[in-house]
Each structure stands twice: as C-alpha cells, then as structure tokens.
C-alpha cells in the first residue's frame, strides 16, 4: 500500500498518532522525579489586558465593617484589640511615635519575667540596692541602700507603685546595669515585631530616643498576658505597702469596673497621661492603649469607653477547630485523590455582633496539588472576609500527608490532566 504524505493522512490516523504522542509524553513525565518536573510557563498576557490585582496582605480593623463606629476619644493616639484573635478593632494614630512614660515598665517586667521563667532569678531572691537605683527620680517605691529587697517586693513596687527605683534595681539584677538591660529590652522589642520602639532606660523617664507606638504597646502587652500568665496577677493588685508606706495602684479602672484586671499607667509632662487597660467578660479579653490624654480621669474614662464599645458590639468566633473539617482539595499523582486543607491551628476571629454568619473563608492556592504533600506544608493562604474586606489571613496547610503514587498511578493522573 502506498504511503500517503503526512498532510494527506486521514484525521483518524492523525488523531491516533497525536494521542499516542501525548500519552508517551505523559508517561515520561510521570516517570521523572518530582524535582526534575517544572510547571509550564505562563501564557503571555493579551495586548491591552490588565494584570490581576495583587492579593491584599493587610487586614482592616474590624470596626471598619461595623455599623456602630468607635467613640470619639480624647487622646493623642489609641488602639483597641481583641486579645483572643489578635485583631485590631479600631485605632487612631497607632504607628505614631510617642513617649511611653511608665508604660515602659511593661517591657521591664516582661524581661524580668523571662528571667524568672528561665530560673535566672527567683521571687525570693534578695537584690542589693545600688546608689543609682536609690537616687533615680520620679515615682518611687522608697527602697534604701544597704537594705536588701526581694524580687517579689520589687515586682510589686514596679508594677503597683510604678517605682522607678524598683525598676532600676530589677534591671541591674538581670542585666548588670541599666544600660545593658535596655539592650535586652530592645532585643525583645525586635523579636516581638515592635517596629516603632526603642528603649533607653528601664523606667520611662524622658529621653529623645526613648519612643514607642500604641500598636507596639498593644503587641507587648498581649504577649505579656499570654507568655507570662503566672505573673499577671501583679497588675490587678490595688495597693502595696513597703517600708511602712502604702501606695495605691494608679489604674482607676480597677475600682470602676470589676472586669478590668490590669495593666499599667504612665505619666510625664511631655507624654501626658497614658494607660494600658485590659478586661475579661465571658471568654473574651479586650486590651486598650491610650496615650497623651490630659488627666488621670480622662485616661480612665476614654479607656472605659473603648472597652465597653468593644464588648458590646463585637463577638469572637472560633473556626477550624476539631469539630470543623478542613477544605477538600484534589490531589494528583498521590496515594489519595483528596486532601484536607486548613489553617495550622484553630482560628479565633472578631466580627461585628450578629455578623458571624456572613464571614467567608476564601482559599487561595496554586493548583494543581501534586504529591508528595507533607503534613503542615503550606500550599496557599486562607483569607477571612466580611462585606468584601479582609479581616484576617492565615496560611493554608496540608492537614494529612499524601505519599507519591506508583508509576502507573502517576501515569493515569497525568493523562487525566492532559484532557481536563
């Protein structure tokens, strides 16, 4: 039989040859090791087409999707966060650099609590009082040279009485000197992601280079609450007596609202009146930072306004716990056809009250998913949106490992993908 030229072959013969070539290519691809396979290059964009908008990585404050706006607050800067979820509910000038005054002592305490947890200090340990600590000005615990004082007493003097002398004595006990301790404070600030913070001392006494922001203070305070729960009780103590001198806690909210259990006041002429406050109602914890108010009464009143607004107008919902399955996704070339995807841990999300049912999880991942897949391997992101706005973004990870299939299993899946 005379061979026909290629262009004259019947459509059936041509189709069979093309199909055979495709299957052969698929078989070769399936036999290649995973590291040798490459994803096909993306097709060039059509002329005049616009590129898709990049995915927003930042989340909006939850208050932006609430029908009840945050109250007007008489402060230079402020922020309110839902501690359970870590989300900002509302803020004004949260990244403005401000003087922390005695709110500095939250970081002083955090570093001291680290040392206690690491057994470099004990609460019963006595600490010598240096001339430098004794002579430190401002608010005082009234410690004295040649009269040793315990770490537990100094903690109460620093936190309840806001004693600068106690802060310096603790700094010297941990760091050897106040300057060395300030370096430890800055190391912790960097580790915690406090981008607008720099400490020069352990007390908060004014220094041109001693600065922070309300967002950074909220980050620090939340970490102290969660990282050092065994020491948080100091912050709700209403008074402390040392050297026969009783001083009250300057946080007026401890008397005004029984749900308030901390945290710290601050004041200098240049910083104004500042307050970090936190409260628990039910299973929710809210934290408020206000700086630069005009009086002790104002900082308490404005903080309470934000606490009440937050508890009254928002809920915290839990998603992807053990009772909620992950998202099903197709797997290719694996020993299983499907895999569960979800965030690495259960997620708490703050939402406006009554809006939990409108919350939408949106998975964004690179398809196809090709085995092997390791448990915990990130394959995309999971955005939680409400009214079209992103409230939170979490990694999207594989919940159960999927091994690579054998040669024929991979070949079958590769052929299937050719005809999708």
How far is residue 363's CA from residue 339's CA, in Å, rounded to a whole number? Answer: 14
Active-site pick, 162, 213, 277, 348: 162
Active-site pick, 66, 76, 85, 102: 102
Contact 251, 41 (CB under 8 A): no
Annotation marks residue 305 as catalytic = no
Annotation marks residue 162 as catalytic = yes
Measured CA distances, 134 to 147, 148, 153, 163, 201 (Å)? 11, 12, 15, 11, 15
Phi, psi of 313 (to 5 degrees): -115, 5
Annotation marks residue 323 as catalytic = no
How many other CB atoms sit within 10 Å of the CB of residue 171? 27
Judging by DSSP bridges, how do beta strands 126-127 and 239-242 pair with one another?
unpaired
| Cβ within 8 Å of residue 381, ≥6 positions away | 55, 363, 364, 365, 393, 394, 395, 396
Phi, psi of 90 (to 5 degrees): -165, 160
* Residue 70, strand partner residues: none
Catalytic residues: 102, 105, 162
């Amino acid at each position: 039989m005379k061979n026909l030229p290629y262009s004259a072959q019947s459509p059936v013969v041509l189709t069979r040859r093309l199909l055979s070539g495709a299957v052969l290519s698929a078989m070769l691809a399936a036999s290649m090791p995973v590291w040798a396979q490459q994803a096909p290059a993306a097709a060039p964009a059509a002329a005049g087409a616009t590129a898709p908008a990049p995915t927003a990585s930042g989340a909006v404050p939850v208050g932006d999707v609430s029908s009840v706006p945050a109250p007007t607050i008489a402060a230079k800067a402020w922020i309110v966060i839902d501690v359970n979820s870590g989300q900002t509910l509302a803020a004004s000038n949260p990244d403005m650099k401000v003087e922390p005054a005695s709110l500095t002592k939250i970081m002083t305490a955090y570093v001291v609590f680290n040392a206690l947890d690491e057994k470099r200090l004990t609460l019963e340990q006595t600490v010598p009082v240096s001339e430098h600590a004794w002579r430190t000005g401002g608010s005082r615990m009234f410690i004295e040279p040649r009269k040793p004082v315990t770490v537990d007493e100094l903690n109460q003097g620093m936190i309840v009485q806001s004693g600068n002398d106690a802060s310096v004595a603790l700094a010297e006990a941990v760091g050897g000197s106040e300057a060395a301790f300030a370096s430890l404070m800055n190391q912790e600030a960097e580790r915690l992601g406090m981008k607008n913070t720099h400490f020069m001392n352990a007390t908060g006494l004014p220094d041109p280079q001693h600065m922070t922001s309300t967002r950074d203070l909220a980050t620090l305070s939340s970490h102290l609450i969660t990282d050092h729960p065994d020491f948080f009780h100091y912050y709700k103590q209403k008074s402390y007596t040392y050297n026969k001198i009783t001083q009250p806690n300057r946080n007026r909210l401890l008397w005004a609202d029984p749900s308030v259990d901390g945290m710290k006041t601050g004041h200098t002429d240049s910083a104004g009146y500042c307050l970090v406050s936190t409260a628990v109602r039910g299973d929710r914890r809210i934290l408020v930072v206000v700086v630069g108010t005009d009086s002790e009464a104002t900082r308490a009143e404005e903080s309470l306004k934000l606490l009440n607004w937050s508890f009254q107008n928002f809920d915290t919902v839990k998603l992807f716990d053990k009772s909620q399955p992950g998202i099903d996704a197709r797997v290719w070339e694996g020993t299983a056809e499907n895999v569960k995807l979800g965030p690495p841990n259960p997620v708490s999300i703050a939402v406006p009250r009554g809006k939990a049912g409108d919350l939408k999880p949106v998975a964004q991942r690179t398809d196809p998913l090709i085995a092997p897949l390791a448990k915990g391997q990130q394959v995309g992101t999971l955005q939680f949106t409400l009214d079209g706005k992103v409230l939170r973004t979490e990694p999207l990870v594989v919940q159960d490992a999927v091994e690579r299939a054998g040669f024929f299993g991979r070949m079958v899946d590769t052929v299937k993908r050719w005809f999708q």
